[in-house]
A and B are shown apart, each in its own frame.
Chain A
């Protein structure tokens, strides 16, 4: 039965409006509020700008410029190293793509904070590595080396690289299916170019535009992250993001104004770093083209491709150590320098009233709710697009999903929580909504590809058999898309579990999730309880991923093409 035109358009319209109002607008309003308050205008406080007092207070913070420099340096360095390693590792291991994907997938689910807490213990002067060496080297006391919280932020960079390299590799593997990589490599090799040269002269320039957005998102994240910087970063002064988050928590509410200026400074700094990266890529392109024109074949470089592969192996080893040490600490009673292994094991941290159960339940509920809402919004938009004959992710939505990923969370959330002071919103609702802002883009991006790739003949067949659009959606599309739907939801779940700032800022400390508890406990004296929370924080998304892989395979066990990646 044919439907009237308005009914066909409305689903796209409704879901588009819902996304705009629930996700995009708040993000922009948050930034605008930060901008107003940063220039001294916040009616709630009776501050009527514009003036520069807030900026003066901000600039008067001891160590501000060092904090700015550290943020810029750690963010840019972590991004460049991650990108370089990701390209190098894919170039070195391009024949083992499916193996690579399988190894990296479980690591992607581990949240930054859990990884950082584990890494901090692995690399600390009295950490696992040092304990392993101590007996052999006769170290009576831990070496006097600032390996965590060093003033240069090297530990922070390592922590970020650990997490971003697997992410960028997976992105690169996805992008590399969009270009004729095998053919171009064969052609290049036939012309006498080394593999490294083919990558540098031919493949990287084609892949760069495809991965530019994720790289910029990595940059924005790395420069403005708070939880990882609290755990691994320098302390005196800390990074700009930590400094601004502390200002925000000042008992004097008027500190909201300089905190808002700080949010703007963070925004400007991030934009500047993105510009630098963009310009750097262009300049590199000019040099590369010049070298290419001279026909540099760089065959000697191929031997060096083992370096990024080895570095990747090293990183993965560190990740495994970091996660393993979390599990180990969670069942430890005493474990002192220089023993490489705990003296006494105990389940006390799991059994005690450490509060992990309620934190886990809260985190689970928020993750379930926010990824569910995000999934419904994304399905609404994509299905609406199909019905309107405008398939996939295009138009303003393309830019809109990028926005929450490219803006520093801090800049958005400081403004939003300033606004929330006026609204009587239950903290749990505010937190779920805050999570949706950052979960939705990931779910949308993850779902858009498989949705667009759906074989249109199935729809036509169903329509020819008399199925209306809703019936086609519920009986054909969604069941066929079960595997990608589950994976998108699992990704959203993992993103939500990892969120720190939205929970902290919008929940006002009244909503405790595994992440906020793990971060708070990581600055406590009991590493065992922190390890319990971090283990759960890393384990929960992983279990959900596993379920997302297994369920479609079980449900579609007799449908060969629909089993998803677990088949």
Chain B
């Protein structure tokens, strides 16, 4: 990207554009009902969002309504549709969306996002918003203050150590591993985010060395970069669950299959998910977390406010509440949600650091140091193309 543009974008992201003070935002927000469109497939996340709702209601008189969607694209479609129907600046039914990656790019490209607003949030002071930090780039796309981080995601494999050995250190080793355990390994359908991430993780490891995944692929560069991937996948697929002919719809179903003993491995974007699921009775106690030697894909989950949101002030109050150190520590608590915080430990004050230090541990919960390097997300177009190419090749 053009350095001048980048600088301009950064300026935008740190300079409060709207003159409204936080007090005025709080006044306006009081009494509003915020429709928060967020994936609803995980009960612990739902419960956590509900607890944040209790907080903002008590402290700021904002009612948080969690609209549980199966796919973030549904909420994006809704905003698009409503804007097309004439609700351009306000009156929209979506006030806040949990999103990242392709959905963020789609909304940003089409001017569907309100902001920048992140720098105006009081709790943004605890965030590392320096250039290039994980909070300022979403799948290589500059955030520019249009979405506010709330939880850290890192791709990991959860396997049942009572039934199967840990996955190999690199993706190339998967072929022998899968052949040794035919029908016991699978990945979610690549139409789903997690399935696509599995393909991306493999692509990052297997693509020829001269591939630049941070720029949008062309037909040529995509074809060239994915030759080893498809070669590898063709060899892997026959040993997958159901002969690689059908796939769990998402990682939740895959986790259910692991709990049912139908497969021996699942994957997650949340390193604490295994420990959380064990505590909740949703996985056997013997499940452990594995990260490939070369590291794994990581990104930050964000919340964004559509340009036509009816309750923007309330949405900002919720985005801010998600960043409060006490709330982030509660989120990271394995007994609550167990999702890693986006706050910068170095920036926290003593109270904030104490809240994190007091968190309990669990056998299946990896330490931050076990998680290995964070591999950058490829440009979102890679994911779109990978999904389409996979469907073309393997959907008959």
Contacts and interface: CB of A to CB of B under 8 A. Distances in A.
Contacts of B106: 251-252
| Ranked 7 nearest A-B pairs via Cβ | A337-B261, A126-B260, A525-B252, A251-B76, A251-B73, A62-B395, A63-B395
A421 B261 contact: no
B50 interface: yes
Central interface residue in B189, B246, B260, by most chain A CB within 10 Å: B260
Contacts of B284: 336
Nearest to A346: B281
A344 B71 CA distance: 32
A44 interface: yes
Contact of B189 (A44, A235, A252): A235
Contact of A508 (B93, B183, B253, B256): B93
Interface stretch (B22-30, B79-87, B115-123, B200-208): B79-87
A42 to B, nearest CB: 10
B323 interface: no
Contacts of B394: 236
A250 B68 CA distance: 17
A285 to B, nearest CB: 39
A523 interface: yes
Interface residues of B, number: 57
Interface stretch (B40-48, B356-364, B366-374): B40-48
Contacts of A63: 391, 395-396
Contact of B47 (A235, A353, A421): A353
B245 A236 contact: yes
Nearest to A418: B81
A146 B246 contact: yes
A334 B285 CA distance: 11
A249 B252 contact: no
Interface in A189-235: 234-235
Contacts of A353: 46-47, 50
A553 B73 CA distance: 51
B89 to A, nearest CB: 15
B88 interface: no
Interface of A: 44-45, 62-63, 66, 124-126, 141-142, 144, 146, 149, 151, 234-237, 249-253, 333-334, 336-338, 344, 346, 352-355, 421-422, 427, 508-510, 512, 517, 520-521, 523-527, 529
B219 to A, nearest CB: 17
Given A126-B262, A334-B281, 9 more contacts: A249-B77, A251-B76, A251-B77, A253-B81, A253-B84, A512-B68, A517-B68, A525-B259, A526-B43
A355 B74 contact: no
A274 B128 CA distance: 63
Nearest to B76: A251
B277 interface: yes
A527 B282 CA distance: 9
Contacts of A523: 41, 70, 249-250, 252-253
B6 to A, nearest CB: 27
Contact of B261 (A144, A234, A338): A338
Given A237-B395, A337-B260, A352 B74 contact: no
10 contacts: A62-B395, A151-B246, A235-B246, A236-B394, A336-B259, A510-B35, A520-B40, A524-B41, A525-B282, A527-B256
A86 B196 CA distance: 45
Contacts of B50: 353, 355
A354 B84 contact: no
A131 to B, nearest CB: 9
Nearest to A529: B43
Contacts of A346: 281
B246 A234 contact: yes
Central interface residue in B47, B78, B106, by most chain A CB within 10 Å: B78
Nearest to A236: B246
Central interface residue in A44, A352, A525, by most chain B CB within 10 Å: A525
A126 B71 CA distance: 27
Contact of A44 (B74, B84, B260): B84
Interface string B73-116: 11111101110110000000100000000010010000000000
B265 to A, nearest CB: 14
A510 B93 contact: yes
Given A251-B103, A523-B253, A144 B183 contact: yes
Contacts of B69: 509
Contacts of B277: 525
A337 B262 CA distance: 9
Central interface residue in A44, A45, A344, A524, by most chain B CB within 10 Å: A524
A63 B388 CA distance: 12
Contacts of B282: 525-526
B10 to A, nearest CB: 28
A509 B75 contact: yes
B85 A422 contact: yes
Contacts of B257: 126
B389 to A, nearest CB: 10
B67 interface: yes
B253 A336 contact: no
B332 interface: no
A422 B68 CA distance: 24
A512 B65 CA distance: 11
Nearest to A254: B80
A539 B74 CA distance: 30
Contacts of B84: 44-45, 253, 421
B43 A354 contact: yes
Interface in B26-67: 35, 37, 40-43, 46-47, 50, 67
A517 B40 CA distance: 9
Interface in B154-194: 183-184, 189
A249 B73 contact: yes
Contacts of A62: 391-392, 395
Nearest to B277: A525
Nearest to A526: B43
Contact of A149 (B73, B246, B255): B246
Contacts of B251: 525
B242 interface: yes
